[in-house]
Structure 1
Amino acid sequence: MIRGTVEEVDVLVVGAGPAGSNAAYHLARRGYDVLVIEEHDRIGYPVQCAGLVSQRVLDLAGSDRFVRRPVHGASVFGPSLGSIGFTAAEPRAYVIDRAGLDIYLADRAARAGARYSSSTRFDRALGPTNGRAHVELSSFGGEHREIAARLVLGADGVTSAVARAYGLRRPVEILPAFEAEFATSPGDPDRVEVYLGHDFAPGLFGWWIPDGAGGARVGIAADADGTSARVRFDRLLGHLERRFGQRLSNPTAYLVSGIPIGHVPRTHADGVLLVGDAAGQVKPLSGGGIFTGMRCAEIAAEVADGALRANDLSARVLSEYDRRWWGELGEEFDRALHLRRLFVRLSDADYDRLIDVLKESDVLGTIVAFGDIDFPTHVARRLLAQSPSLLRLLPKALGAWLAPGDRFAPALDPVRRK
């Protein structure tokens, strides 16, 4: 039962991850009364992803204090452990303290004026009244309260309660992921390693990421085909034992999560916006979503500012958010999703042949020159265009994918075509 008076706020942000806190910061600094709720008792915990980001994330955060080490290179291993690797003079990515990023962004938003309430869950939508969205929140102590917000911003992850409450579809494909942290680990501390193989990671890949302190974060994400992520993770450990000649042991922490693949048709409703994993704003080829979620949160704040100033939070006005974020990232998402669908059709033998093809010196040069973890299809298109051997590994339909202006993608919500 809800007790007490109704608390009114301008914006209720559900979820204190990077997307939620970034949106809260940009709205609070514009003078809005922003309340951020987080279901866990500690911001940043449990850790939600591997924590490998680009320079763009540091730029969006305005800080590098959560960086543990730069990464200059990467290696990709086929099922038979043949590999391709490159090293660049400048950092190509950064290993971060993942919880530290969340904490920093929440602190930045709080200093701008946002208020935070931990151990607080979004329970249900109570319906609009007098131009405000009324929602019920609950604490782990059993207390319930009612909030009346001009805008509800759902940044509550792949199983978004906000999306469900307001009739917005969630991503249809969710890849189970399992990761462990090891205090000590063999391997090059300046290089990320990616492992391909249907035995442990059908549908995506396994990873080994140096943590900047002599250890590593090791994990897998794979199709949900009935095999548990933990079983697949153990298979990856066996694969790494063959790679390193020793068994990784004594993990210090585990992470179980789900990675959404594929955008949702609509990320707005009357008085509601979705950002981050809740909106499916995740890169289909890697499963990474920190940059995309933070950038879309910034766009959401800009659109929300205009709507709040006009006192019009209708779906018609908020649809500008869909148009803007899709206009900036949609082509990359479309191309990456299509390329992923082709890539997962490859067999283990194809993966090994892929590694051999990528060893060509001119291909390596293209990867070093144009590789970008946030926009991977840019380099993929160059590689496929310059390497007939690589193109032969994939279906003939891929040739059309390379043609300027062609888009092999699912039909989009009409609002995005405007």
Structure 2
Amino acid sequence: MRCIAPHWSATLIIYRKDCPRVRHHRSFLRIRLLLLILHLYVGWRLIPDLAVGTIGSALLGAYLVASALLIPLVVRVTWLNGRWLAWPVAIMTGLFSFLLGFTLVRDVVLGVWAVAGSPSTAILTSSAWLVLVATLMLAGYALWQGRRLPPVVEVDVALETLPAGLDGFTIVQLSDLHIGPTIKGGHLRRIIERTNALSPDLVAITGDLTDGRVDELMPELESLSRIEARHGTFCVTGNHEYYSEAEAWVAAFRRLGLRVLVNEFALLEHDTDQLAVAGITDLTAGYYVDRHRSDPTQAAEGMPQGIPRILLAHQPNSAPAAALSGFDLQLSGHTHGGQIWPWSLLARRANRFLAGLGREGRMWVYTSRGTGYWGPPMRLGAPSEITRIRLRQAEGASIAQT
């Protein structure tokens, strides 16, 4: 049963109430209303106290109106790709996140202050300006964090089934690159250069590689064909591939030399030992493409017994089913580690694992904070990463950053 959203297609084939695109359409309308209310709140609480005069107040009000109208476009990535508006929309999204947070903090402080007596006009004015200065400073730092070349995170994972010949086998994981409106080919080339410098045995890309359509973004992805790894590059689809044209992206990735695993596995011969690498589609894939329904059991079908089993799965919430299917290690992304604090608190509630190394029964799960970003080109409290995973025989695991 196909799932088509009315605002993405002129022809409605079947309209499913449980379809993510239908829910997305309804959520989009609610978000627009909520954003408008939040912008009105910020303007109401800050503009009068800034004491910038009629012209200044009008300019600030106009900016907030523009921000309220433009921020929802951050989800219209296909429309934004190649347009100059992409960066203003992305920056506005991050700025408002900090502006709203500091405005709320200011109101709490002023509320406590009011218990002892009304704060003076000078306090109201200085605190309002402090909100603006703090917003700009923190947004600038978050922008640097988001746009810098991701550092390498070193992870050792001990597997019970690992033979001596695979001890030290290295996997470089890239995840959530989100090539699209603000992440382009130049940034990707620098990531690939750092990846190749690590001399990996295998490169794993765990979904959300792109944001947009094949004809828009293929020139930006050319450097993917230059990844150097002994056993090649494997990837799986993420939820964002299904927001555009997942089947077309699978074909495009394969043309670039990537091995796309769609609920299947590949058997690798490493000297005299074997390693199974499987991949499943995103958890929501079946709503968009019936034959892409995520299935770790199918991915493990026919896999030899007694050899290490690695699974690439975009969402860490795939872990319970993957553990039951007998995998030893699941590599995931999707969460971005929350990307910008304090939104990471909400991301933690929505995901079984937020970031780093965890366990699901006897299976290890490593969740990358992501190599790119989505929406605002900013990160705070959740730095991006290129992950180098070493498989080990010895018990225990460690994480370090270089």
Alignment TM-score > 0.5, same fold: no
TM-score, normalized by length of structure 1?
A: 0.28
Give the greater-gyration-radius structure (CA).
2
Q: Would you tell me which structure has more helix in proportion to its own residues?
A: 2
TM-score, scaled relative to structure 2 = 0.29
Higher share in strand: 1
